[in-house]
Chains A and B, each alone.
Chain A
Amino acid sequence: MFLRVVWASLRRQGFRLGAAVAAMVLGSSLFAALLNLSFDAGGKAGRELRAYGANVLLFPREELRGPSAGLEALGVAVEDAGIPESSLGSLDGVDGIVGFAPYLYSVVEVAGQAVVAAGIDFDRLKGVSPWWKIDGRWPEERAEGLVGVSAAQSLGLASGSHVWLRYGESTSEADVAGIVETGGPEDGQLFFPLPLIQRLTGRQGQVGLVQVSVLSRTGSLQAVAGEIARRLPGVRVRMLDQFAQADEIILGKIRLLLGLVAGLVLIVAALTVGSTMFAEVLYRKDEIGLMKALGATRKRVAAFFLVEGMSIGILGGVVGYGAGLGAAALIGQHVFGAALVPSSLGFPATAALALGVAAATSLLPVRRVLAMEPSVTLRGE
């Protein structure tokens, strides 16, 4: 009988029910959209931030010696020590690593001038430093490289130039595929395929530095650094704290903003549903008076309205969640250029909130009417 009454009541409410459900759908959809955004936007924004360079550097554990030591301060590790290239494969399985690029720096002679030349894996470099501006093209052949814009000027090189590299008694030759401009120390350096520099310097299978790009989430950078240190005991892990902190501050602010807007939306939805339910309960106070006159306890009467309110909450929550997912996907596509991944918490959180808001906003007016005597409400007062 209980459900029969609730169903009959919901069926006949028409416009008023529609208004309450619409308010709940609106509130839930915005809440669901913002919730999913706040969960996934962190990841998306983190990936965007990773386009600005690596935030973790790996060095050989051995101390650098001699004249090369000063280069470390510039983020350059030279030939005194090395990390086995074969050990880097274990980085691929670390959760949170977006990409990494091994470097082998060396001071070589080009056209009679000493310059810093780095051996790098260009494919991996593109993942870690996609912001490098190349005039020309990325190297594709085994003997092609890039030249920093300042180095190109001082050495008189351009795209398509042919260069001879000398290291002690060894020499190699390569073509210049493009001129790179980063605004950093790279502008004064030369970049060639890793095997070419390894062969030239006689350090086959060695790298001197690895730049790692880690997706920032609160506290995640520390954890990833720890995992790297565990997997590669022979390396020193250095986090670029400014980058890490900036990432986390930006992500924190995005989440806070989304959370505040979601909270505000929820308050507005609660007020709308509350006022609708309040009007509904006042409209039906005769009915409440009659139920009490027929011997219904306060709890039983309240249960009818509570379940009606919760039905509005469930309906509004489910429809609103679907609409919110759609909205989040649209926002994700337009802002981040990729669809958002729905959070597993999204549906239960939205449904629970919609239910809670509907129940709470239904109970408040019901409590007020329940306090009235049936003899009064039945008189129409």
Chain B
Amino acid sequence: MDGDAIISVRALDAGYGDHKVLRDLSVDFRRGRVTTIVGGSGCGKSTLLKCIVGLLAPWSGSVSVDGRVLTDLPENQLAGALARVGLLFQQGAMLNSITVAENVALPLTVHTTLPRPVVDEVVQMKLDLVGLGHVGPMLPSELSGGMRKRAALARAMALDPDVLLCDEPSAGLDPQTAADLDALILRLKRTFHMTVVVVTHELASIDAIADDVVFLGRGGSLHFAGPLADAKACPHPAVADFFARRMPEMPAGTRSLLDVLEEPE
């Protein structure tokens, strides 16, 4: 993808322990657009988000956000850079020992010198934005899974970040709540010119929000990166299967048990 890239991934290799998840991945995420990261389970979608936000150091290659490589920044600059990136974790990752309102207020108290009454107002506004204006005094453990995820989105948006990363925001949500979340993401993009990167498997959600699509294949290689319309016309079998909702072919190196038993060795 060309154009004004706010996130640039170059020749990225990354993984956990001895297990390499992403291989030689190069892709750009364009400013002010919603990009969905798509691919099968275990292909490295969440790993890519962790590399972007600096939670996982690349084995080789680089990831830069607005021209800065987060993992290379000195600590006093890192906090400021992270304040411009919000991450919604797959399970929300709310701090369970403090209330929902305190969770949302945390980035504001750390990164700003706003007076406490103003912080409280911002917190209430963000919670209202995700439809949870009434849950501020509650503990995260008292919320349902969907509510926890929306509260986590309010926390990720607390500082009006330039980049909002969402790891499967609609997974496990009912269709109406998922649609509301999609509408909210679009509103954030339009109103605050936020760049949004969403990991998702939901075709309906991709159709509703995506400007661009990044499709990762097995082994963390890039199958496709570009506008949604081009993705739907992509001839790559895995991409075509995904958008046509076809059962993907069985993995290479396997055969059906029937064939194995019938064939003499």
A and B together in one complex? no
Q: Which residues of A contact B (CB under 8 A)?
A: none
**B: which residues have CB within 8 A of A?**
none
